[in-house]
Amino acid sequence: MATRVEAECSSTQDGDKVCLLGSRPELGDWEAAKALELKTGPKLWPRWTAQLPPGMAGAEFKLVIRRRDGSVEWEPVPHNRSWPDAPTGSKLCFRYGDQDMQVAKDSGYSRVKFDMGEDSKAPPVPKGHRAKTHLDIRQRLVANSDKFRKNIEERFELETALLGEGGFGRVVKARDKETGAWRAVKTILKSRVTHMDEVKQELQLTQRMDHPNIVRLYAVYEDHCSLYLVLELCEGGELFDRLVDEKFLTEPVARKIMKQVFSSIAYCHARDVVHRDLKPENYVLMSKARAVDQTPLKLIDFGLATSCRQDQSLNTAVGTPFYVAPEMLGHPYGREVDIWSCGVIMYCLHCGRLPFTAPTDLEVLRQVKRGRYSLDGPIWDQVSAPAKDLIGRCLEMDAGKRITATGALEHSWFQKSGAAADPKVFDPEVLQNLKAFSAANRFQKAALVAVAYNLTAEEGHELRETFTKMDKNGDGYLSFQEVQEGLGPILERSGTNLSEVFKGIANAEGKLEYTQFIAAAMDEQLQGNEELCWRAFKVFDKDDSGVITMSELQQVLGGDELSKMIEGQSLAKIFESTDKDSNGLVSFSEFMDMLHSTAVLEPQSPTRSSIYTRAMPSQGLGALLSTELSQSPKN
């Protein structure tokens, strides 16, 4: 049985060939003209592959690039490679310019990671901080359950038309059979994944994110072939495609886009997460029908993201050459690399081209290391001085002097959007809803959070706009001061003790998160929408039986301090009070009654019928860097 070779090499141009050259006839007997050509393609590149017969053990070889001009370039490794004694049916994986090789079971194409150093996946908790041992309510609502998350087609109808496709799988549109909601389903083929722990880390990081400009993860399914990520549906396409269509955008439109970009990164950095692969392709728009500045922008793909505190350094060279920061090329780096990438995106938005370009990736990296770019020409003559200043502060070569994401949001460029918005953006009824949410029990709060988390972009538009206006520093949270300023005179007239209300809705750090705010501020129209409540009900109804059991409630609310006495009521007591007919099950009708008890909402009408208004429903950077370092002149 043949052995398959899978080599990663991105140092090629059109017309170049990557070949195996070695000491066996199959490898050309060290004659470059007879070297074995590897195959690639648009979906496979930068991976190159070939099938080799058995019996190759002990053969010496190297990778070579046969350039289109006839020249031959040998990979810069110190010694010949030696073919390992690999079992039949296996594959040999390695990277151009890297001596290391891996032998794996040949079950499909994979991405192989060769680190330049070790990154801490779970940094120690700083002194004075207590490590959290539980997920908050929102995270529990999307956490994977092996018992109930096996067959995705039992719950979703998957369309065949592709929304997107990558090296690990594809993305399609899907309809939830139980709720009628439309989602995006990202399929990750296990056969193409070498390091499943990296995929699991991506899921954990995505699950932690709760920001209006970061895509939402609703559920995870897994079978023996694939992982299925049920995500927020964004049909507006990649920001990159809009840039290609429009060449460049007006400055006011660029300002609206960059505010969302910086806000999403400020939130990630506040949670000690560095993305490391920011680029227009990783931002998608919610709607195709709306103008680019009239629809929310969403950050996707946390595949290269990792934990990184402000005082922590990383060493692994990853990312996309056009957007990578110079300090990542051979030096320890921190979260500042994301700001450099933001600067590149902002540059593109204003002129329609990249600041650092060259025929090959290797030459691009050399341009990045020099850090020279142009703000001259007819297009740049129309760009304001504050915009150019912010680009320069993002593309600052000294990472220690580079502006932060929150600093960028406070930059004068973002103050040019006209008269300051009235900070008093809360409707008086919102205060009553906040008070009711603060006093609700844990089941009621979790149910409202589930309703809020399942809102579509259109359904949550007004509340999202309110949150964004209130979030003055753009960090993705509301502080007590920001809420106090938003309520303004309403507080004075009501005599409400906002401090007590805020304690009941804020997280352990004293901040109000996005979904928690939506849940607390929803009005009766949203809470009384049966379609929305049905979506929330199905979050708890894990086995799709049409009722909620005590064990299902414990799955969301149980564990750690959530299982202890809450506001004088145990979890069992809360369940018992909701189960009106005492049959050990919570029906949808009982769920709705619980949502609309006076502790949560004061109905506008005394009749129950008024509630029911609707019917139920890129990682090749390490290789480039090693090549660059090997070719750099020694001082």
Instruction: Tell me how far apart the alpha carbons of residues 572 and 69 are, in angstroms, rounded to a whole number.
Output: 76
**Is the confidence at residue 265, as pLDDT, over 60?**
yes
Q: Summarize pLDDT for 477-534 with one digit per residue, the tens.
A: 898 888 888 777 676 677 777 888 888 888 777 888 888 888 888 765 566 678 878 8
Instruction: Tell me how far apart the alpha carbons of residues 48 and 95 are, in angstroms, rounded to a whole number.
Output: 10
Q: Summarize pLDDT for 183-217 with one digit per residue, the tens.
A: 999 998 887 777 777 787 778 888 888 999 999 99
Q: Closest Cα partner for 288 from 258, 251, 245, 259?
A: 245
Residue 485: helix, strand or coil by DSSP? helix
The residues spanned by each domain of the chain are 3-105, 137-231, 239-415, 428-610
**Is the confidence at residue 277, as pLDDT, over 70?**
yes
Residue 259's φ and ψ, nearest 5 degrees, are: -60, -40
Instruction: Tell me how far apart the alpha carbons of residues 216 and 299 are, in angstroms, rounded to a whole number.
Output: 10
Q: Summarize pLDDT for 418-476 with one digit per residue, the tens.
A: 434 444 445 666 676 777 777 677 777 788 888 888 787 777 888 888 888 888 888 88
User: Which is the CATH superfamily of the domain at 428-610?
Assistant: EF-hand (1.10.238.10)
Average pLDDT, the chain: 78
Structure tokens at 557: 């609310």
Active-site position among 98, 210, 277, 541: 277
The pLDDT score that the predictor gives to residue 400 is: 94
Q: Summarize pLDDT for 116-131 with one digit per residue, the tens.
A: 333 433 333 333 333 3
| 427 included as an active-site residue | no
Structure tokens at 408: 């960028």
Exposed/middle/buried for residue 386 (C-beta within 10 Å: 0-12, 13-18, 19+): middle
The pLDDT score that the predictor gives to residue 106 is: 54
The pLDDT score that the predictor gives to residue 430 is: 65
Q: Summarize pLDDT for 334-358 with one digit per residue, the tens.
A: 999 999 999 999 999 998 889 999 9
User: Any idea which of 4-13, 252-261, 430-439 has the lowest mean pLDDT?
Assistant: 430-439
The CATH number, out of the four listed (3.30.479.30, 2.60.40.10, 3.40.605.10, 2.40.50.140), of the domain defined by the range 3-105 = 2.60.40.10
Put residue 169 in one of left, alpha, beta given phi > 0 → left and psi -120 to 50 → alpha: left
The pLDDT score that the predictor gives to residue 132 is: 35
Contact predicate 553/540, CB 8 Å: yes
Instruction: Tell me how far apart the alpha carbons of residues 270 and 513 are, in angstroms, rounded to a whole number.
Output: 12
The pLDDT score that the predictor gives to residue 247 is: 62
CATH 3.40.220.10 fits 137-231, yes or no: no
Q: Summarize pLDDT for 585-606 with one digit per residue, the tens.
A: 999 988 888 877 634 333 333 2
What pairing do the DSSP bridges indicate for beta strands 17-22 and 306-307? unpaired
User: Which is the CATH superfamily of the domain at 239-415?
Assistant: Transferase(Phosphotransferase) domain 1 (1.10.510.10)
Q: What percent of the chain has pLDDT over 90?
A: 25
The pLDDT score that the predictor gives to residue 524 is: 59
Residue 127: helix, strand or coil by DSSP? coil
Structure tokens at 496: 């409400």
DSSP one-letter code for 229: E
Helix H segments across 124-282?
Answer: 137-142, 196-208, 239-246, 251-270
The pLDDT score that the predictor gives to residue 343 is: 97
